[in-house]
């Protein structure tokens, strides 16, 4: 029993359909965004939209934490140089969560202008040679510069063995993605925590007696540039912002096939119309400078120029077009200092006390000289130091945090503890209570996984039919969505001798983790299932099996299709920007497969069998289908269902599954609650080890 050959047995090329689908769906939103922005005809209209987007952006991030009432701040002088000194600074952004930084302080009493320097994805962060040079140049020109280690970089590593120093999940961006995945499950984002750290950095600068609080700018490159842009929209104290190698136009970026990191992914940014120019106009009419590398592979220069044009059109409404600047360098993706002197000149022009004076590349010291902790680790320096995982767990446990529903895997919040879920002990109709709970969970799943979408005529194509002993085997493909199209495939196997077709559990959609690619190795299992259910459809939702997306080799060093930065990661994060999820898309396809199977067999119900990642697809399709108009579920079988979303969120090192990337999956939407809801609704759920 074989699966499909290339291009669905030569019938249709599907290797690019999922990226194409995402791009086409995004295109409609981009056009709507353009139309909305063209309609802005006054300063008041722009400011109304900016305020609305600021509120929306803050909400999409999961809100922002409260500041520490009386944060502990420790400073010490590390280095003294001609014209400035370097201090170590450690402050708490949350209780027992320390931020390490260096402060470059020019000579003189001030008040001085200041710059908050946000680092990109270098492990050494504040101690990176190019960052040291940039801070040197700003300090020599009279700026107090606070350069901060981001979470999981510099002295703030999160996933290392404290005894061996071994990295447990790779470098900075890998750690960001592991932590960020947990945040998504909880209904929040890693950006929430990183931007809060940056806000606390602004607090520190504003409180220094030698700093003029009305002249604090922000700069950063790459990941630090993105954080600069985000902070500009959320904190009105930013007097001038210079996001470098971090700005383009979202449509241009989407065309590159590049990935973004967890702290840069804003759920639903595309349908919300939140584009890069919404960040560069965030502080209008205050000065903004976009730094760009002409050959940047991450942020296309065409998009940079379009964003600059959009930004200037907004600033013209304030008669402040001169406050918009573009600094470019003929190079690839780079640091602030590698863009040349333009950024430093710009800061001096807009915030400084005098014209810019170049001071050369500046001295560089070893990272150990700039350490704020004895061993270069906050986790070793502070006995009660919390990690990002600890913060997330604490925020989940706070019922008023707004992060998301508390995971209630053990609390029985969707079952009646006193009567094992069989009814009510207060004189009400327990069956009705169960039905309401099940319907509530169903509606939540449909909402969170974006399953309420337009259905199309599947127009199934049966492209081959063979007989193998008592089994009939057919290859079929059909569409689950149109304009843009999604093609899915399946191997339909029927056992004419089986009596199962007359039972409530037949037929069955079977979701192997690799779909029909599991054939012919799983032939014996398929035959057994066909004998049990009468007819089974070995199914490929989008991007799986015969409709698997081609490998997208960007960056070129990524080898794991399903790992951090792999093809599934890229598609999952693009879907997140669209306000949906790869998980939800595939669950929708499995729902449509159930409809197809019932139509082909004339059955009133369909069962769902899932294995590995496919077990999640089967389980969520079942709860969404059960009780819907004309739908019905016979039985659900999960084989090797992985951890609950609560377990993946609160465990230290859970498996990383980009295929499960989705927002707000705790509590009502989690797998234990879904299983309980199905069983209360009369659906048999059998959970098996693989």
> Helices 172-185 & 388-397, crossing angle to 10 degrees?
10
Please state, in angstroms and as integers, the Cα–Cα distance from residue 685 to each residue in 507, 536, 553, 608, 614, following that order. Answer: 15, 18, 39, 10, 15
The SS3 assignment for 15 reads coil
- What sign for the dihedral angle of Cα 107, 109, 112, 118? positive
Q: 424: which 2 tokens?
A: 């009510």
Residues 6 or more apart whose Cβ sits within 8 Å of residue 263: 176, 180, 189, 190, 191, 194, 223, 226, 227
CA 384 distance to own-chain centroid: 29
Cα 268 from Cα 575, distance rounded (Å):
9
Residue 74 forms beta bridges with which residues? Answer: 90
Burial class (CB in 10 A: 0-12, 13-18, 19+), 319: exposed
For 197-210, how does the pLDDT look when each residue is reduced to its tens digit (9 = 90+)?
999 999 999 999 99
pLDDT at residue 500, rounded to an integer: 52
Is pLDDT of 402 > 70? no
> At 505, is the pLDDT very low, low, confident or very high (cuts 50, 70, 90)?
low
CA 470 distance to own-chain centroid: 48
For 555-595, how does the pLDDT look when each residue is reduced to its tens digit (9 = 90+)?
888 878 999 999 999 999 999 999 999 999 999 999 999 99
pLDDT at residue 171, rounded to an integer: 66
Q: What are the DSSP calls for 36-73, one per residue?
A: HHHT--SHHHHHHHHHHHHHHHHHHHT--PPPPSS--E
User: Which of 487, 664, 660, 450 lies closest to 569 in space, CA to CA?
Assistant: 660
pLDDT at residue 432, rounded to an integer: 64
Cα 382 from Cα 92, distance rounded (Å):
11
In 10 A of CB 95, how many CB atoms?
A: 13
- H/E segment holding residue 677: helix 671-680
Q: What are the DSSP calls for 215-248, one per residue?
A: EEEEEEETHHHHHHHHHHHH-TT-SEEEEES---
Residue 638 forms beta bridges with which residues? Answer: 610, 687
Across the range 606-625, mean pLDDT stands at 98
For 251-294, how does the pLDDT look when each residue is reduced to its tens digit (9 = 90+)?
999 999 999 999 999 999 999 999 999 999 999 999 999 999 99
> At 161, is the pLDDT very low, low, confident or very high (cuts 50, 70, 90)?
confident
pLDDT at residue 497, rounded to an integer: 76
Please state, in angstroms and as integers, the Cα–Cα distance from residue 115 to each residue in 245, 337, 347, following that order. Answer: 18, 14, 9
For 23-39, how does the pLDDT look when each residue is reduced to its tens digit (9 = 90+)?
999 999 999 999 999 99
**E strands in 395-526:** 461-468, 471-481, 486-495, 508-511
User: Which of 501, 500, 521 lies closest to 512 in space, CA to CA?
Assistant: 521
Cβ 477 vs Cβ 539: under 8 Å = no
Cα 193 from Cα 215, distance rounded (Å):
25
Cis peptide before 484 (omega within 30 of 0): yes
Pinpoint the alpha helices (H) of 285-369: 301-316, 342-350
What domains appear along the chain, each with residue ranges and CATH number? 6-16+447-688 (3.40.50.1820), 63-394 (3.40.50.1820)
pLDDT at residue 566, rounded to an integer: 95
pLDDT at residue 643, rounded to an integer: 97
Across the range 499-520, mean pLDDT stands at 83
Q: 126: which 2 tokens?
A: 């504040």
Across the range 8-26, mean pLDDT stands at 97
Is pLDDT of 483 > 60? yes
> At 421, is the pLDDT very low, low, confident or very high (cuts 50, 70, 90)?
very low
Residues 6 or more apart whose Cβ sits within 8 Å of residue 668: 405, 414, 440, 441, 444
Cα 617 from Cα 511, distance rounded (Å):
7
- H/E segment holding residue 684: strand 684-688
pLDDT at residue 400, rounded to an integer: 41
- The half-sphere exposure of 660 on its side-chain side, counting CA atoms within 13 A, is 31
Cα 514 from Cα 564, distance rounded (Å):
19
pLDDT at residue 496, rounded to an integer: 77
Cβ 606 vs Cβ 594: under 8 Å = yes
- H/E segment holding residue 89: strand 84-94
Burial class (CB in 10 A: 0-12, 13-18, 19+), 486: buried
- H/E segment holding residue 114: strand 112-118
What is the number of residues in the chain?
A: 690
- Phi/psi at 585 (5° precision): -60, -45
Cα 52 from Cα 315, distance rounded (Å):
18
For 225-240, how does the pLDDT look when each residue is reduced to its tens digit (9 = 90+)?
999 999 999 999 999 9
Is pLDDT of 424 > 80? no
Q: What are the DSSP calls for 389-407, one per residue?
A: HHHHHHHHH-TTSSS-PPP
Is pLDDT of 427 > 80? no
> At 172, is the pLDDT very low, low, confident or very high (cuts 50, 70, 90)?
low
Cα 201 from Cα 90, distance rounded (Å):
10
Please state, in angstroms and as integers, the Cα–Cα distance from residue 91 to each residue in 128, 151, 211, following that order. Answer: 21, 13, 17
Q: What are the DSSP calls for 549-596, one per residue?
A: PPP---STT---TTSTTSHHHHHHHHHHHTT--HHHHHHHHHHHHHHH
Cβ 125 vs Cβ 131: under 8 Å = yes
Question: Mean pLDDT, the chain, as a whole number?
Answer: 92
- H/E segment holding residue 196: helix 190-207
Is pLDDT of 381 > 60? yes
User: Which of 364, 365, 346, 366 lies closest to 356 in space, CA to CA?
Assistant: 346
Torsion-angle region of 266 (φ positive above 0: left; ψ -120 to 50: alpha; else: beta): beta
- H/E segment holding residue 213: strand 211-221
Residue 537 forms beta bridges with which residues? Answer: 492, 509
For 322-339, how does the pLDDT look when each residue is reduced to its tens digit (9 = 90+)?
999 999 999 999 999 999
- Phi/psi at 114 (5° precision): -140, 160
Residues 6 or more apart whose Cβ sits within 8 Å of residue 623: 441, 442, 445, 674, 677, 678
pLDDT at residue 605, rounded to an integer: 93
pLDDT at residue 423, rounded to an integer: 37
Please state, in angstroms and as integers, the Cα–Cα distance from residue 364 to each residue in 130, 144, 360, following that order. Answer: 8, 18, 12
């Amino acid at each position: 029993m074989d699966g499909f050959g290339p291009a669905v047995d030569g019938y249709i090329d599907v290797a690019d359909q999922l990226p194409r689908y995402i791009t086409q769906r995004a295109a409609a939103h981009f056009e709507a965004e353009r139309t909305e922005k063209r309609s802005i005809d006054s300063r008041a209209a722009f400011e109304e939209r900016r305020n609305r987007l600021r509120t929306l952006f803050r909400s999409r991030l999961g809100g922002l934490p409260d500041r520490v009432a009386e944060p502990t701040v420790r400073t010490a002088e590390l280095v003294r140089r001609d014209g400035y000194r370097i201090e170590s600074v450690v402050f708490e952004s949350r209780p027992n969560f320390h931020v390490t930084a260096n402060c470059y302080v020019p000579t003189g009493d001030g008040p001085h202008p200041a710059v908050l320097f946000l680092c990109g994805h270098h492990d050494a962060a504040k101690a990176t040679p190019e960052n040291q040079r940039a801070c040197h140049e700003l300090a020599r020109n009279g700026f107090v510069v606070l350069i901060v280690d981001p979470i999981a970089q510099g002295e703030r590593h999160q996933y290392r063995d404290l005894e061996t120093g071994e990295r447990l999940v790779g470098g900075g961006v890998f750690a960001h993605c592991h932590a960020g995945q947990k945040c998504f499950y909880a209904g929040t984002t890693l950006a929430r925590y990183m931007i809060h750290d940056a806000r606390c950095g602004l607090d520190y600068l504003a409180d220094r007696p030698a700093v003029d609080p009305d002249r604090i700018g922000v700069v950063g490159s790459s990941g630090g540039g993105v954080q600069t842009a985000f902070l500009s929209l959320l904190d009105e104290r930013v007097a001038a912002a210079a996001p470098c190698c971090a700005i383009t136009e979202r449509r241009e970026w989407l065309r590159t096939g590049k990935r973004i990191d967890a702290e840069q992914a804003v759920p639903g940014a595309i349908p919300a119309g939140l584009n890069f120019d919404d960040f560069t106009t965030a502080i209008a009419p205050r000065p903004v400078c976009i730094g760009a590398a002409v050959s940047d592979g991450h942020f296309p220069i065409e998009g940079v120029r379009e964003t600059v044009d959009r930004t200037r059109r907004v600033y013209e409404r304030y008669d402040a077009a001169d406050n918009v600047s573009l600094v470019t360098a003929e190079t690839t993706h780079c640091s602030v200092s590698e863009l040349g002197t333009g950024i430093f000149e710009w800061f001096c022009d807009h915030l400084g006390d005098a014209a810019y004076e170049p001071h050369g590349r500046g001295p560089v010291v070893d990272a150990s000289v700039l350490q704020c902790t004895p061993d270069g680790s906050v986790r070793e320096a502070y006995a009660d130091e919390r990690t990002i995982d600890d913060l997330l767990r604490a925020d989940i446990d706070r019922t008023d945090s707004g992060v998301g529903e508390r995971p209630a895997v053990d609390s029985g919040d969707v079952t009646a503890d006193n009567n094992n879920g069989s009814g009510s002990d207060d004189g009400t109709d327990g069956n009705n209570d169960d039905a309401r709970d099940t319907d509530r969970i169903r509606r939540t799943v449909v909402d969170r996984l974006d399953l309420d979408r337009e259905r199309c005529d599947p127009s199934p194509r049966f492209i081959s039919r063979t007989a193998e002993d008592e089994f009939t085997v057919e290859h079929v493909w059909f569409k689950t969505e149109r304009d843009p199209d999604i093609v899915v495939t399946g191997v339909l196997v029927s056992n004419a001798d089986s009596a199962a077709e007359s039972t409530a559990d037949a037929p069955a959609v079977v979701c192997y983790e690799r779909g029909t690619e599991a054939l012919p190795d799983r032939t014996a299992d398929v035959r057994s299932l066909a004998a049990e259910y009468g007819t089974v459809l070995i199914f490929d939702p989008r991007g799986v099996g015969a409709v698997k997306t081609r490998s997208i080799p960007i960056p070129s060093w990524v080898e794991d299709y399903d790992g951090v930065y792999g093809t599934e990661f890229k598609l999952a994060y693009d879907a997140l920007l669209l306000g949906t999820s790869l998980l939800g898309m595939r669950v929708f396809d499995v729902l449509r497969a159930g409809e197809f199977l019932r139509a082909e067999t004339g059955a009133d119900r369909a069962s769902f069998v899932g294995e590995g990642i496919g077990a999640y697809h089967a389980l969520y399709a079942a709860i969404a289908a059960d009780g819907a108009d004309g739908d019905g579920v016979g039985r659900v079988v999960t084989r090797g269902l992985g951890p609950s979303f609560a377990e993946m969120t609160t465990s230290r090192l859970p498996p990383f599954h980009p295929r499960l990337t989705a927002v707000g999956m705790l509590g009502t939407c989690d797998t234990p609650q879904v299983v309980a809801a199905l069983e209360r609704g009369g659906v048999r759920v059998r959970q098996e080890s693989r």
